[in-house]
Amino acid sequence: MGILSIDEEQNFYMGIDFGTTNSVVSLYSNLDKQVHTIQIEGDCLVPTAIQFEKDEEFADKFIRNFGFSARESVSVYPESTVLSIKRLLGRDTPVEIVVDKEKYLFMPEDIAGEILGFLKQKTEEFIQQEYGTAVILDSCVITVPANSTDKQKSKTKQAARLAGFKEEGISLRLEPAAAAITYAIDQEKNKKVLIYDFGGGTFDACILDIEMIRENEPKIEIISTYGENNLGGNDIDNIVIDMIYQKFLEQTEGKFNLYDLNCDDGISAKQKKLAQVRMRQVATMTKERLSVSSSVKVNIAPIIQEPVPVNIQFEIDRNSFLTYKRTNKIGQNDKEYVGKSVEDLIDSSIKIVEECLASAKVTTEDIDEIILVGGSSSIPLIREKLQNKFNILPYQGKISPAFSISQGAAYYSKLLNDDGVSYEVTEKTVHAFGLEVSGRRFMEVIKEGTPIINNELIVEAKHLLETGVDDLTSMAISVYEDTRSNLENRHLFVYDEGMKRLAGTTLRGIPKARRGEEKVKVVFKLTTDNILTVMAKCVSTDGVETILTVDELY
């Protein structure tokens, strides 16, 4: 039997929810007209984890372990195991791993590519086993948080290329938008819906308008999407970790610091890393159990063995879980949520929902349905606060909060590659984009909430840029993003709060002329991947142009 490329036989459409803690893969099959969420190693929720070990036959090569085996190995080999790589995508700092006491450096996108390649391989094996067809998957849709930067999106696409997907076959879509499609496919009447997505590493809110054109043919318009890249279930876990760590500090009278690997306090760096891993594992389990139980007993015996054995045993009830204020810094760069409680984090998510409502110009009364997505959305207080705010119960149905994003990504993949789909999706820009002009003012080019038609949006700046002095031959082009929803009172200056510089380049070779005679046209192109390209061109007959892709110039 020959091996067919997915481009040659369009029967399968792959969607990946590449999560901070876990990843999920779904596949739409034209053969049975169904979306299948794939089990990998016996579970649909696959830990986003990788562990490296030396190959005994080839000293210069590694053996990679993925998923559950990698996550389980972290308690034994914390220095060669990588978790939560999604939070590092977009950073230029390499990840250090230690294998057999030797240090190695990997870029975050390289590690993400390894994990995506593992998911791709397992999906191809699923197709072979279930359908008897050997297929090489060239294309996929990968979901990203709503508030992802262009650089994070670019690195995600780079990871997908490293995994073996073709450049032209890789598409990115916003996580809440993907979840929205999964919900909308089964609807029978017009609705406005709030997607509340509290994932492992990020929080996103999305408001969509579902209009039923005909039976089973929804038109889905994404009215507004807002998110926070540094607010997720991991931050809730850190609060529980802090409760455990505080007990440890009290029992040891503050003699030891488990988060300072260089501190000479009698505990080895490896033992400290193992203690950190055990606290995180127990914290995650405690958070999950407190969604269904009023209290949970915490038992880590021992948390360290040398220089003295220390056992941690105490009980956490749901109220203390919600109200305890973070005291300690957990990790090298972790300080944002010190002094915050779980309830504070939930309130922060509600404020993002309010921004999303304001951007969409709708009220709580306009929302017909609330869909909860992401593992941390199962916390009872979230359901309670949303019910009080909107006066409706969040939706409870056959859609799994854990699987809805990947299933929506599979539907999206079919939409992008199959002209015969029976649903339509219209996306809008999340934020406004523009340029810095004289006086450090912000000139808006793309408005927030502008529809992206046919997978791309091309907007020319209403005003031409002019040379400010005689004989000027170059001009700086600085691109900014307005990250706050403030439609009534737009930002005037690029240094205002909420303004984010994305990239910059220089247009060179402008013909010499008197001040103001030479003018420059600027065109913004934004794709549904939310990757921005900016073109600046001198409009004179001898004019020159420059093109910058924002994600490549961070």
Matching residue, tokens 């009220």: 363
In terms of Cα–Cα distance, which of 228, 247, 243, 245 is closest to 345? 228
> How much is the pLDDT for 361?
85
Give the span between the Cα atoms of 25 and 353, in whole angstroms: 27
Give the span between the Cα atoms of 106 and 38, in whole angstroms: 29
CATH class of 233-335: alpha beta
Give the span between the Cα atoms of 392 and 417, in whole angstroms: 37
Q: Assess whether the region 233-335 and the region 429-552 belong to the same CATH fold.
A: no
| Size (the chain), residues | 554
The lowest-confidence range among 134-138, 420-424, 475-479 is 420-424
pLDDT average, residue stretch 204-211: 86
> How much is the pLDDT for 60?
74
| Parallel, antiparallel or unpaired: strands 424-428 and 217-228 | parallel
Which of the listed ranges 382-396, 419-433, 452-466 does the model predict with the highest average pLDDT?
A: 382-396
Matching residue, tokens 């297929």: 135
> How much is the pLDDT for 243?
96
> How much is the pLDDT for 142?
96
Give the span between the Cα atoms of 88 and 17, in whole angstroms: 16
The tokens of 175 are what?
């996580």
- Does the CA dihedral 408-410-412-418 come out positive or negative? negative
> How much is the pLDDT for 2?
43
Does residue 245 contact residue 279 with C-beta atoms inside 8 Å?
yes
pLDDT at 3 over 60: no
Give 4-230+359-426's CATH code, choosing from 3.30.565.10, 3.30.420.40, 3.40.50.1950, 3.30.70.380.
3.30.420.40
How does DSSP assign 321-388, residue by residue? HHHPPP-S--STT--TTTT--HHHHHHHHHHHHHHHHHHHT--GGG--EEEEESGGGG-HHHHHHHHH
> How much is the pLDDT for 500?
81
pLDDT at 262 over 90: no
pLDDT at 287 over 90: yes
CATH superfamily for 429-552 is Substrate Binding Domain Of DNAk; Chain A, domain 1 (2.60.34.10)
pLDDT average, residue stretch 538-554: 59
Instruction: Identify the band that residue 552 occupies on the pLDDT scale cut at 50, 70 and 90.
Output: very low
User: For residue 408, how many C-alpha atoms fall within 13 Å in the half-sphere facing its CB?
Assistant: 30
> How much is the pLDDT for 251?
93
At 141-177, the pLDDT tens digits run 999 987 777 788 889 999 999 999 999 899 998 887 7
At 325-339, the pLDDT tens digits run 999 887 655 657 888
| Parallel, antiparallel or unpaired: strands 4-5 and 135-136 | parallel
The tokens of 431 are what?
């934020």
Does residue 164 contact residue 117 with C-beta atoms inside 8 Å?
yes
Instruction: Identify the band that residue 554 occupies on the pLDDT scale cut at 50, 70 and 90.
Output: very low
pTM for the model = 0.78
Does residue 176 contact residue 195 with C-beta atoms inside 8 Å?
yes
Ordered by start, the domain boundaries in the chain are 4-230+359-426, 233-335, 429-552
